[in-house]
Amino acid sequence: MSAKKSPEELKGIFEKYAAKEGDPDQLSKDELRLLIQTEFPNLLKGSSNLDDLFRELDKNGDGEVSFEEFQVFVKKISQ
């Protein structure tokens, strides 16, 4: 997946994975892992690991990633 997606496309991708368990407006760590493995397969290769990425994205510390937090991630990797 290219990070150059419209906000509507990004929202659709986010919702597809967030709806797999629990809150459909939040990504759990497992949902985030699946999203990254499927949509950004090269992202976690090398020094990046999911725990670090999850902590970085979960700005409010609630244990889940909101769409707003996800958008920051997409913007960061698209630069």
Spans of all domains in the chain? 7-77
Class of domain 7-77: mainly alpha
Per-residue confidence (pLDDT) for residue 15, from 0 to 100: 94
- pTM of the model as a whole: 0.80
Reading the block at residue 60, the tokens are 């409010």
Cα–Cα distances in Å, from 16 out to 12, 41, 47, 62? Answer: 6, 17, 27, 21
Q: What are the tens digits of pLDDT across the range 24-69?
A: 899 999 999 899 889 877 776 655 688 888 888 898 899 999 999 9
Q: What are the tens digits of pLDDT across the range 60-71?
A: 899 999 999 998
